[in-house]
Structure 1
Amino acid sequence: MKSYKASVWKLSVNKTTKKPTYLVRWVVDGQPFSESHKTKALADRFRAKLVRALDKGEPFDTVTGLPDSLRGGKAALSFLDLALKYVDARWAEASAKQRDSITDALATVVPVLVKPGRGRPAPEVLRRALRSYLLPVPRRKRERPEEITSAVRWIERASLPVGELQEITRVHELIDGLSRRLDGKPAATQTYRRRRAVVFNALEYAVELEHLTSNPLSRVRRKRGKRAVQEVDRRVVVNPRQARELLTALTYVGGYERASGRRLRAFFGCLYYAAMRPGEALGLRRSDCTLPAQGWGRIELVETRPTAGKAWTDSGEAHDRRGLKQRAEGEVRTVPIPPPLVRLLRDHLKEFGTAEDGRLFSSERGNVIAASSYSRAWKQARELALMPHQVMSVLAFRPYDLRHAGVSQW
C-alpha cells in the first residue's frame, strides 16, 4: 500500500555506540521509519533523496517506508510471496526429494518473519497449511479444512516484506528459526545446513528479482556444530560369512506362500554384492542385466526409484523416477557382478519373474516395494541370523549398511 502523507525529520546522532552513527528519520502515513548511516555525508545524501521524492510528489510505501525512486517502483514483496514464487520457479526441474526439502525449509522460516498480533494459529496447524496446501504446486487448489483456511488467511496478512531482512535482527531471527524443530528444541546440524542452503537460494532469487540488493544471509556467520562424519562406521559392516547368513535368513521370513522374505533375497544381494543403493535396486529391470549360466555377469544401471512421498512426485506415486544420483541425465553405470549374485538373480527370476514393466523386484501386487516393507523384512532377518548381542548392536542395522559392507570387500 502506498501513501502521499510523508514527512522527513532532521538528522539525529546516535552516541550510544562506540562510534557515533547518524540516523535519518521520516514518517509515512503516521508510521515512523529510520535508517542508520556511519557518516554524516551518507546520512545527508539519503535524507536528500527522501526530500527530493517528497518534492516530486512520489508515493511512499507504507511497509518499507521508501518512495518509488528508491525501490524501483515495486510493491513490497512479502516473504510468503517470495516463497511461493521460488517454489514455482524450482518445482518443474526439482526432484521429488528436492521438492520435499524446499517446502520443509520454507515452511520452517515463513512463520518466523511475521508481524506480531492476535489470532496466530498453532505451530503444527501453520506448518501443515504451508507444507500440505500453500507451498506444493499441485496441492494449492485442493479443498481446505476451516482451520487451514484460517491459518492461510492469517499468514497472508502477517507475513513481513522481504525488505525487513535488511535489519540484522530479522536475519538473526530467521537463522534461529532454521536451527530449531517445531517443538523448539535444536535441530540436527545437517538439518540446519540443508534448510539454510534452501533459504539462501530463495534469497538469492529475491536479489535476482531486485527486491533485495544483496543476500542478507551472507552477513551472518553462525557455527552450528561439527559436520556429519563422512567415514563409514566400521561397527555396521558385516563380514562375508555374516552377509551370507543374513541373505539365507531372509528365506525364513514370512510364510512360504507369500514369500515376503524370499522375494527380497536377491534385492538385498544387489546391495551387498553390487553395492547398489536401494532405489537403484528397486529400479532394476531384466533388460539391464546380463546373467550367464556360469561366471560373472553385468548390470547396467540407468534408473533409480527413491522413496519420496506422493505429494512430491509428478506421477502421484510414493517413489520418484530419476536418473542415477550424481550422474548426468541418461548416464549409465556399468557394474560387474560376481557369480553368487548372478545365481541369486537367476533364481529370483525363475521363481517370481518380473513386474509388468520389467522390474525385477516388486510387491505381490506388482508395485514398487515400499521402504517400510523391506526394512521390516530386514529387521526379522537380523533377529534370525545374528547373535542376541549383535541384534542389539548397530551391525547391519539398516539395509543400506550392506552397501558399505560390499564396498569394503572391493
Structure 2
Amino acid sequence: MLTHDVVIWSIRNRKGRAKPYQLRWKVGTEPKSKAFLTKALADNFRADLLKAAKAGELFDTETGLPASMVAADAEEIPMSWYEFAAKYTAMRWPGAAAKTRESIVDSLAVTTFAMLDGEALNLPRKDIRAAMQWALIPREDGAAVPTALASTVRILRKATLPLADMADPIVARRVSDALGLTLDRRPAASDTVARRRRGLNTALEYGIDLGELKENPLKRIKQKKIAKDDAVDRRAVVNPEQARELLTAVSYVGSWHRARGRRLMAFYATLYFAGVRPAEAVGLRRDDCHLPEEGWGLLTLTKTRPSSGKQWTDTGTVHDLRGLKQRDTSAVREVPIPPELVTILRAHLEEFGTAPDGRMFRNERGGVLGASTYSRAWEEARRLAFTPQQVASPLAGRPYDLRHAALSTWLNAGVDATEVASRAGNSVEVLLKRYAKCLDGRQKQNNSKIEAALER
C-alpha cells in the first residue's frame, strides 16, 4: 500500500549496540526503524527520506521507503566487505607473484578488523585473521573449510559491513588505524603499514571500478608524514677483509662430514663478489655461469626463487619461480665476476656438482635452498668470525648485507654509478639514494673543499 502519511523522527543513539544510531519513522500506521554504524550514515538516510517526503513521493507501507528508494533498493544490494575482498583477490591472483599475493591477503585481512558487523564483532582477532587468510585464497568450488575455521568463516560471510560504508569518514579512519597495528594491537613497522596501505589503495580503486565506491576513501585520511630513510646502514657493511673472514668461517659451520657450511660458502661468496640478491643466487644454474680457467667470468641472471609460503605459489612449493625483480619475464642481467669468485664456483662444482635441474646451490637433500637454512648457517659463521661486540652489532647481520657490501665497495672504488646500477639490477636513482651513506672517504674530500673555499 502506498501513502503520503509519513512521520520521520530524529536519530537516537543507543550506546553499547553494534550499530548505535537508529532512525525511526512511521508510514501510515506502520512503525519503521533502521540502525547505522555511524551518525553520518544515519543522517544521510534520514535526509533521503525527508527529501522524498517533501517532493510528495508516495511511501510503501511494507518497506517504509519512498517509491524511488524502493526501486533503487531492488536494483542494487550493497556488496559486503567479505564479498568484495574475495572478489578482488580472485581477480588479482592469476597474474600476481607469490609475495604479492601474500601482501594482498595481509592488507585485506587486517582491514577486516575495522569492517566487522553484528556477530563478528565478538570474534577473536587471531581467528578472524586465520579465517580471512584461508577464505581469500581462490580454491576449487566445494573446497571444505577447515573445521577449526568453519564457524568464523560462516560468521564473516554474513557479518561484515558493506564496502560502501567505508565512504563514511569515521569508518575510513578506523580502517586506516587498523592498518597500523599488529595482531596484538601494537604499532606495526612503518614499512608494513606503507605496504598495507598500498595494497588496500589498489583494492579500493577496483571498488570504484565496480561502482561500489565513488572515490577512494583512504585518500581523505591525513597521516602524519615521517621521513622515510631507505639508506643502507653503513654499520652493516663489511670490508673485503671481514667478508673473506666470514666466508672462511662458513666453511667450518657444521661437521666436516656433512659439509653443511662448505656447501653454502660459494652461495655467500656469490652474494658478495657478484652483488646479487639471495633469491637470484638461489635460482642460479650452471648454464648461467661462464667460468673460465683464468680471468673474469660472467653470470647471466634470468630467474629468481623467492621464498614464500606454499599457499601463495601455483606449484604448492615454498619457492616461487619468477623472472628478475621488476623486470619483464624474459629479461636477463649480465654480471661480470672477479677471478676470485670464478675459482670459488669452480671448486664448488667439483666438490658438490649441481642439483638435477642444474641449480648451483641446493640444500643437503638436493632441494631448493631455503632462507631459513642459509640464515641459520650465517648466524653461526658470524659467531665464529667476529668478536662478541661485532656479533652484537649490525655488522653483516643478514646474508643480504653481503650484497650491500658489494655495491658499496664498487661505488667506493670509483666504478661509474650507471655500471654499478646495471650489475645490481637497480636504477641509478635508487642506488645512490640507498648507498650514499656508505661512500667512505667522501666526507674528508668534501671537508677539504670547504676549507679551501673559506681560505679564499
What TM bracket, shorter-length normalisation?
0.7 to 0.9
Is residue 110 from structure 1 mapped to residue 132 from structure 2 by the alignment? Answer: no
Deviation at 1:44, TM superposition (A): 8.3
- Who is 2:441 aligned against? none
Match of 2:193 in 1: 192
Q: Per the alignment, do residues 111 and 396 of structure 1 end up closer, same or farther by CA in structure 2, a change over 3 Å counting?
A: same
* Cα distance in 1 for residues equivalent to 2:98 and 2:397: 26
What is the distance in 1 between the residues matched to 2:280 and 2:51? 63
The unaligned stretches of length 5 or more in structure 2 are: 12-22, 27-31, 411-456
Q: 1:30 maps to what in 2?
A: 33
- Answer whether contact 2:2 2:58 (CA < 8 A) is retained: no
Partner residue in 1 for 2:305 = 305
Question: How far apart, in 2, do the equivalents of 1:44 and 1:126 lie?
Answer: 35
The alpha-carbon deviation at position 67 of structure 1 amounts to: 2.5
Count the aligned residue pairs. 388
Partner of 2:241: 241
In structure 1, runs of 5+ residues without a counterpart are 14-24, 38-42
- Do the aligned residues in 2 keep the contact of 1:60 with 1:66 (CA within 8 Å)? no
Cα deviation, residue 189, structure 1: 1.4
- Which shows bigger deviation, 113-122 or 93-102? 113-122
- Give 1 or 2: higher helix fraction: 2
Shift of 1:128: 0.9
Offset of residue 226 of structure 1: 3.6
Deviation readout 1:154-210 (Å, 9 max, x if unpaired): 112210111211211111111111111111111111111111111111111111000
Aligned counterpart, 1:17: none
* Contact 1:125–1:147 (CA under 8 A) maintained in structure 2: no
How is 1:42-61 mapped onto 2 (pairs within 5 angstroms)? 47-48=50-51, 55=58
Q: 2:250·2:262 contact (CA, 8 Å) conserved in 1?
A: yes
Contact 1:237 1:396 in 2 (8 A): yes
Q: Of 87, 90, 103, which aligns to 2:89?
A: 87
8 Å CA contact retained: 1:250, 1:381: yes
For the pair 1:276 / 2:279, whether they are aligned, the reply is no
1:335 partner SS: strand
Classify the secondary structure of the residue corresponding to 2:311. coil
1:311-390 equivalence runs, <5 A: 311-390=311-390
**Residue 130 of structure 2 corresponds to which residue in structure 1?**
128
- 1:212-249 CA-to-partner distances (Å, cap 9, x unmatched) read 1111112211126442x211111111111111111111
Residue 300 of structure 2 aligns to a residue whose secondary structure is: strand
Deviation at 1:255?
A: 1.2
Measured in 1, the distance between the counterparts of 2:379 and 2:385 equals: 10
* Structure 1 equivalent of residue 443 of structure 2: none
Root-mean-square deviation (Å):
3.2
Change (3 A) 1:358 1:75: same
| Kept after mapping to 1: 8 A contact 2:3/2:61 | no
**Deviation string, structure 1 residues 316-338 (Cα, Å, up to 9, x no partner):** 11111101112122100100000
Structure 2 length normalisation: TM-score?
Answer: 0.78
CA contact (8 A) 2:4 2:56 kept: no
Name the counterpart of 2:445: none
Runs of 4+ in 1 over 3 A off after TM superposition: 3-13, 25-29, 32-37, 43-62, 68-72, 116-119, 138-147
In structure 2, what is the equivalent of residue 21 of structure 1?
A: none
Give the Cα separation in 1 of the matches to 2:332 and 2:288: 10
| Deviation for aligned residue 1:313 | 0.4
Normalising by structure 1, report the TM-score. 0.86
The corresponding residue for 2:261 is: 261
**Contact kept in structure 2, 1:8 and 1:47, CA below 8 Å:** no
User: Within 2, Cα distance between the matches of 1:5 and 1:350?
Assistant: 92
Letter paired with 1:30: S
Inter-partner Cα distance in structure 1 for 2:244 and 2:171: 56
